Amino acid sequence: MKVSVIGGGGLVGSMAAFALQMGKVASHISIIDANKQVAEGVALDLLQGASLIADQRIVAEDMSGVADSDVVVITAGLRRKPDESRLDLINRNVDLFLALLADAKKAGLRPDSHLVVVSNPVDVLTHLAVKRSGLDWRRVIGLGTQLDTARFCSHIARRLQVPTTQVKALLLGEHGDSMVPIWSSATVGGLSLDQWPGWNAQAAAETFEETKTAGAKMISLKGGSGFAVGVSIREVVESILLDSRKILPVSTLQQGLYDLRDVCISVPTEVGTGGARKQYELSLTSKEKIGLQNSARVLRGIIDQVEARLAKGPAAAAPAAPAPAAASSAPVAAPAPVAASMAAIGPASDAKPIGHPPVQVRTAVNRASWNRGA
């Protein structure tokens, strides 16, 4: 099974490629980047260690490499310029992403392939990819809060001084400031977190703030997240390749669950061959559900602004022409939401479903021990 990483020469893309190599599931890894020399270097570096890991074909290719890919991962993104507004950065990344998506389609993106969006703003770009890729909506998945959830669990474990793999918790909503901690899902060793010795409201608030600002902290410390985002991407990709059907907090098109429509946002999603196989509506507390709906309104406001600009035509939305090195790495910290319209997500009659109706599962059971993948 072949995985192509667009932006594979950057920090995020190269770490994703390395994580996929260590996972030993993908048989063929393709590194695609605007900077062809860097792409060749990343591929060669990975290949030189292959004899100690697994028998995989690892190559640097141009965009034509997506034509025979089972999964295409897009990590390319632009960094914020001095004095640049958040909306301007969003618009530049939208233009770059749509140019890359158009190139991938022109190169022969297969209708049975899967598109994993990592570039930020990931939820907005996932929504645009659903509308413009030509793929069934299930085959377009944004990394969403998969990375945030991994960080969340690790930070809880560090605070409680327990093994990290014993912590199960969940973040839903936007990959950004409006993300929502689902405390009702959190467990340690199968026991409810709120019953754990030493855990209290202050610990919860501090842990969530640490998680929410983790991306910005990684940028200030070392230029961006690498290892954690790499293994988070691998979890999604390998669940597709192996048809593992893990329940992951990834960004997909919503068509009714949690009263959310026509927005891509992270909810518990069964990921396997074909992409998003099911979406689950869990029994949330009223505070959690309100938070999730607010997160969707924030995203819908940003999408409305982006789509209004794109509707004005090429003059208003000309594809960016970045320097090759700048286009090779996705900024991991999602930009803080711009001032967004808080208009409610439209009623069912306003939704724009793509492809067949989703498999949606509502349950009154609070899935505290869900199958988290990070």
40-89 pLDDT per residue, tens? 999 999 999 999 999 999 999 999 999 999 999 999 998 877 777 777 88
What is the Cα–Cα distance from 249 to 269, expressed in whole angstroms? Answer: 6
For the cut 60, the answer to whether the pLDDT of residue 145 exceeds it is yes
Could you tell me the pTM of the whole model?
0.85
What is the Cα–Cα distance from 304 to 307, expressed in whole angstroms? Answer: 5
Q: How many CA atoms lie within 13 A of 290 on its CB side?
A: 3
The pLDDT of residue 362: 54
The pLDDT of residue 340: 30
212-254 pLDDT per residue, tens? 999 889 988 998 899 999 999 999 999 999 999 999 999 999 9
Task: Kindly state the tokens that stand for 31.
Answer: 């590194």
Q: Strands of 140-142's sheet, edge to edge?
A: 57-60, 28-32, 2-6, 71-74, 114-117, 140-142, 246-255, 261-272, 275-281, 360-362
Q: How many helices (H) and strands (E) does the chain have?
A: 9, 15
- What stretches of the chain show up as alpha helix (H) in DSSP? 11-23, 36-48, 86-107, 122-132, 146-160, 201-212, 214-222, 227-241, 286-311
> Average per-residue pLDDT in the chain?
86
Whether 155 is catalytic: no
252-308 pLDDT per residue, tens? 999 999 999 999 999 999 999 999 999 999 999 999 999 999 999 999 999 999 999
In order of their start, the domains of the chain are 2-142 (3.40.50.720)
Catalytic residue among 114, 127, 155, 175: 175
The pLDDT of residue 88: 86
149-196 pLDDT per residue, tens? 999 999 999 999 999 999 999 999 999 889 999 999 999 999 999 989
- The pLDDT-based confidence of 354 (bands split at 50, 70, 90) is very low
The pLDDT of residue 149: 97
The pLDDT of residue 316: 55
5-18 pLDDT per residue, tens? 999 999 999 999 99
Residue whose C-alpha is closest to residue 340's, from 124, 140, 118, 131: 124
Task: Kindly state the tokens that stand for 159.
Answer: 């605070």
The pLDDT of residue 68: 97
